[in-house]
Amino acid sequence: MSAVANVSTVKPVAAACYDNNLVNSQGMFLGDQPLRFALPLLLVQVSAILLLSALAHLVLRRLAQSRFVTHMLVGVFLGPSVLGRSAAFRGTLFSDRGTYILESVSLVALILFLFSMGVKTDLSLLRRPSGRAVAVGVTGAVVPLAVTLPVFHALQPSLPADLRGSSLITELAVRLSLSSFPVIADALSDLDLLNTDLGRIALTASLITDVTSWFLRACSAAVFLVAEASSPAFTAKILASFVAFVLFVAFVARPAGRYIAYKRTPPGALLSEGSFVVVVIAALLSALVTDAIGFKYMIGPMMLGLALPGGMPIGATMTERLDSFFIALFLPVYMALSGYRTDLAEVTKEEASEKWCALELFVALCVSGKLVGCVAAGLFFAMPFRDATVLALMLNIRGIVEVAAINNWGDTMKATAEHYSVLTLSMVLITAVSTPLIKLLYDPSGQFARAGAKRRTLEHARPSADLRVLVCLYTEDHAAPLIDLLEASGSSRDSPVSLIVLHLTELVGRAASVLKPHRKSHTGGGGGNPTPSDRIVNAFRHLEQQAAAGAVTVSPYVAQAPFSSMHHDVCALAHGRKANLILLPFHKSSDGARSTANNAVRSINRAVLRHAPCSVAILVDHGLASGSACATAANSLLQRAALYFLGGPDDREALAYAARMPEAGGMALTVVRFKLRNWVGMGGRDEARDEEVLEGFWTRHRDNERVVYVEKTVEDAEGTASVVRSMSEKFDLLIVGRRGGDDADLEGSAALTSGLSEWSEFPELGVLGDMLASAEFASKVSILVIQQQPAKNTARGGGGDIND
């Protein structure tokens, strides 16, 4: 927005006179009126906008509304449509004089936001985009243009005079036919859909059209300036200035950015204060330069951001120091001021109805054309209609980039006050409708539940079948205990183990999530130092080399995603690689101390338990860790394991896993079956299946001296706990089924743990697992808790809320 534009009437120039000395007030007790001074007024304006936005979002987020919608509606509320109808309110808080500084500061926030999003944009998405993403992006951009522009030319003679000869409709059609990558990335992040299948397609499709549009926008601006030039000399200066800026960004700024990121900054660290200041100054100067040579101020920061390396350390530093404070503080102000300029009175005027109806016709044509184009492209690539519709809704989300374009049209008088109000409200309405529909129609975890029609469990697999385990690690410290467990689990040519190793890290400094096979070159820079992912993979490669040929195979992957949606990557990879088991580390360390990421890890584990397309195991390490990720697996720390069998599908799954240990791993295994005294079985299906599985197990291992089968008869849950306490310290590893409160239908076996869950601290471990993981059992005994993939249409909990 132009700093001199009148925020309520959208006129080309508005004069605002004020005393330059009115900056700091001496206080109301000395006779000053603080709100007549620039600094107190700025503080009140920002505070009012942020406070109202926070309160409004508490309500609107329950309706799946984005912060963009919240900020815009707050601006409408403060503007001439509601509170601004009062001349006293408008004159005190939002006079032309009072908004001058506020708009300037908010524009700086917009510049830094565009720069930050440019840094975070992963241009590698364009190297090998999927055919679906290209088709959806191109078709979604071409169809609305092909529909809107011919209709505009056909109806032009009958349109209102202010639209008939204006370029507004053409620019509107171009803007709405495209999808802005920063807007889509921000919206999908709010919806926790960044790392879903549709989310990745939407990001790639929007990036394709957005990069193309930025290039065309720069070219069209150059053509316009050349056409306006008064002489060939001015034409040469314009073109030379822009070419010089592009060359400077490509051959000076980019190498300098890589030098700062990879030479001056230690691996894993954020930028130093000096380097950070240099980068921010460069972003502001890029806006100044492009604005000074006649191009839009938004082009410079975006180009510079795209040229600099994303991720660590530049992207992460922008997120840590810029996004979380300055942009978060003043970007809402920019959107609120845009909403403030909206005047519903202009729209409701009788003489304005023809204008806004005509304008809304073209908005509707653009939106519907984009929906049809995206859906058609999705259906062509055999996407389900529901998914294609959701993808089209994602690409129709509007945000700050569209608002910036509308502000520019208003400032340059391409849009009248009526046009401005109609277009702004249209952007808000489109997003306000799209995000709840996406939330309603798309449940990415549902596809994994539907995958449960074909169960991939250990209980139902052949004893010698290939065991496919997805091993998830959050840090290097998780590698050693998991490797010890996998080595003890046994593998051979006749009973091979396929390990899909997934290193999970939080998405920092990038806008798009990552899930890809690990490559040695995945170092984030040019240095030769191995990354944490490299060291983790090396440890598992060592396990593969130590095993017999063909007994163990390792397929490493890396994933970068927000913690709130990281379980999507885990479940998607398990589904795609047909894993039998997902192996997760427990969120708590052996000494009971928590790391900073532990609560997030716990939330991910619970989400995986709820949505996994296969069985899930959680390893509670109480002494298996043998150092670092590079620790060898040649001498396992696990020699003796015990399985506590109470009954039910989870216990049968645990038995199926434990049965591999003495067969191929050479580990001693004790199976302890608990029975309730005086219990008369009801002849249920689970009881019969328990007997069948135990009998089959003992038949196979009767002659194996490393296998011991014991039955313990107890009176109640207290007796179960007593037996567990007396036996557990004899073993290196305890294996239990999760069971927990989810298996209340197990009748008699439920009585074996009845009442133990009242003091449960970790519901995701089940009743028995929680008891074993408590401080009383925190010795050198580690616990493996296993949950069987539930049958179709059977819901399983993930352990409640994180605040339980």
- Identify the pLDDT of residue 634: 42
CA 713 to chain centre: 49
Q: In the predicted model, is pLDDT for residue 9 greater than 50?
A: no
Q: In the predicted model, is pLDDT for residue 11 greater than 50?
A: no
Q: In the predicted model, is pLDDT for residue 52 greater than 80?
A: yes
Q: Can you tell me the mean pLDDT for 707-716?
A: 88
Same domain, yes or no: 461 and 436: no
- Identify the pLDDT of residue 459: 86
Percent of the chain predicted with pLDDT > 70: 84
- Give domain status of residue 23, yes or no: no
Side-chain half-sphere CA neighbours of 759 within 13 A: 6
Write out the residue range of the structural domain in which residue 690 sits: 451-522+530-787
Same domain, yes or no: 430 and 468: no
Q: In the predicted model, is pLDDT for residue 804 greater than 60?
A: no
Same domain, yes or no: 437 and 457: no
What is the rounded distance in angstroms from the CA atom of residue 108 to the CA atom of residue 5? 16
Residue whose structure tokens are 């043998």: 626
Q: What is the CATH number of the domain that holds 720?
A: 3.40.50.12370
**Structure tokens of 550?**
């063909």
Same domain, yes or no: 361 and 455: no
**Structure tokens of 352?**
């304005």
Amino acid sitting at position 687: E
- Identify the pLDDT of residue 704: 86
Amino acid sitting at position 127: R
Name the more confident of 295 and 255.
255
- Identify the pLDDT of residue 320: 86
What is the rounded distance in angstroms from the CA atom of residue 395 to the CA atom of residue 405? 17
- Identify the pLDDT of residue 293: 86
Q: In the predicted model, is pLDDT for residue 12 greater than 70?
A: no
**Per-position b or e across 659-673, b if 16+ CB within 10 A of its CB:** bbbbbbbebbbbbbb
Q: What tens digit of pLDDT does each residue of 686-701 get?
A: 788 888 999 989 888 8
Same domain, yes or no: 195 and 122: yes
Q: What tens digit of pLDDT does each residue of 119-177 get?
A: 998 888 888 888 999 999 999 999 999 999 999 999 988 888 888 878 899 999 999 99
Cis peptide before 313 (omega within 30 of 0): yes
Do residues 560 and 510 lie in contact, with contact meaning Cβ atoms separated by under 8 Å? Answer: yes
Q: Can you tell me the mean pLDDT for 491-512?
A: 87
Same domain, yes or no: 562 and 643: yes
Domain final position from 394, 420, 441: 441
- Give domain status of residue 21, yes or no: no
- Give domain status of residue 652, yes or no: yes
Amino acid sitting at position 550: G
Q: Can you tell me the mean pLDDT for 468-492?
A: 89
**Per-position b or e across 159-198, b if 16+ CB within 10 A of its CB:** bbebbeebebbebbbbbbbbbbbbbbbbbbbbbbbbbbbb
Same domain, yes or no: 361 and 471: no
- Identify the pLDDT of residue 39: 83
* Nearest C-alpha neighbor of 507 from the set 7, 70, 114, 122: 122
Q: In the predicted model, is pLDDT for residue 88 greater than 50?
A: yes
504: exposed, middle or buried (Cβ count in 10 Å: 0-12, 13-18, 19+)? buried
Q: Can you tell me the mean pLDDT for 735-755?
A: 67
Amino acid sitting at position 126: L
Same domain, yes or no: 157 and 183: yes
Side-chain half-sphere CA neighbours of 36 within 13 A: 11
- Identify the pLDDT of residue 18: 58
Residue 59 — very low, low, confident or very high, per pLDDT cuts 50/70/90?
very high
The 3-class secondary structure across 599-668, one letter per residue, is: HHHHHHHHHHHHHCCCEEEEEECCCCCCCCCCCCCCCCCCCEEEEEECCCHHHHHHHHHHCHHHHHHCCE
Q: In the predicted model, is pLDDT for residue 744 greater than 60?
A: no
- Give domain status of residue 801, yes or no: no
- Identify the pLDDT of residue 6: 37
Same domain, yes or no: 212 and 295: yes
Name the more confident of 796 and 3.
796
Residue 224 — very low, low, confident or very high, per pLDDT cuts 50/70/90?
confident
pTM for the complete prediction?
0.85
- Give domain status of residue 19, yes or no: no
Q: Can you tell me the mean pLDDT for 297-315?
A: 90
What average pLDDT is seen over the chain? Answer: 84
Same domain, yes or no: 774 and 641: yes
Same domain, yes or no: 389 and 464: no
- Give domain status of residue 582, yes or no: yes
- Give domain status of residue 468, yes or no: yes
- Identify the pLDDT of residue 332: 93
Do residues 147 and 169 lie in contact, with contact meaning Cβ atoms separated by under 8 Å? Answer: no
Q: What tens digit of pLDDT does each residue of 562-603 get?
A: 998 999 999 999 999 999 999 999 988 665 444 444 788 999
- Give domain status of residue 241, yes or no: yes
Task: Report DSSP letters for 98-126, one per residue.
Answer: HHHHHHHHHHHHHHHHHHHHHHH--GGGG
Q: In the predicted model, is pLDDT for residue 665 greater than 70?
A: no
626: exposed, middle or buried (Cβ count in 10 Å: 0-12, 13-18, 19+)? middle
If one counts the domains in the chain, the total is 2
DSSP state of 555: E
- To 5 degrees, how large is the angle CA 123–CA 128–CA 130? 110
Q: What tens digit of pLDDT does each residue of 421-467 get?
A: 999 999 999 999 999 999 999 988 766 655 555 678 888 887 667 88
Instruction: Read off φ and ψ for residue 282, nearest 5 degrees.
Output: -60, -40
Residue 635 — very low, low, confident or very high, per pLDDT cuts 50/70/90?
very low
Instruction: Read off φ and ψ for residue 643, nearest 5 degrees.
Output: -115, 125
Q: Can you tell me the mean pLDDT for 363-380?
A: 96
Q: Which residues pair with 733 in a beta bridge?
A: 641, 782
Q: What is the CATH number of the domain that holds 93?
A: 1.20.1530.20
Q: What tens digit of pLDDT does each residue of 288-305 get?
A: 999 998 888 888 999 999
Q: In the predicted model, is pLDDT for residue 29 greater than 80?
A: no
CA distances from 124 to 121, 208, 374, 510, 513 (A): 9, 11, 23, 12, 12
- To 5 degrees, how large is the angle CA 11–CA 13–CA 19? 130
Q: In the predicted model, is pLDDT for residue 616 greater than 70?
A: yes
Q: Which of 14-18, 376-380, 476-480 is modeled with the greatest confidence?
A: 376-380
CA distances from 211 to 133, 218, 675, 749 (A): 14, 11, 67, 61
Q: In the predicted model, is pLDDT for residue 243 greater than 70?
A: yes
What is the rounded distance in angstroms from the CA atom of residue 725 to the CA atom of residue 735? 14
What is the rounded distance in angstroms from the CA atom of residue 292 to the CA atom of residue 286? 10
Look at 120-129, 606-615, 643-652 and tell me which has the smallest mean pLDDT.
120-129
What is the rounded distance in angstroms from the CA atom of residue 763 to the CA atom of residue 741? 8
Q: What tens digit of pLDDT does each residue of 180-211 get?
A: 999 999 999 999 999 899 999 999 999 999 88
- Identify the pLDDT of residue 662: 83
Same domain, yes or no: 264 and 385: yes
CA distances from 22 to 6, 38, 299 (A): 21, 6, 35
Instruction: Read off φ and ψ for residue 17, nearest 5 degrees.
Output: -95, 135
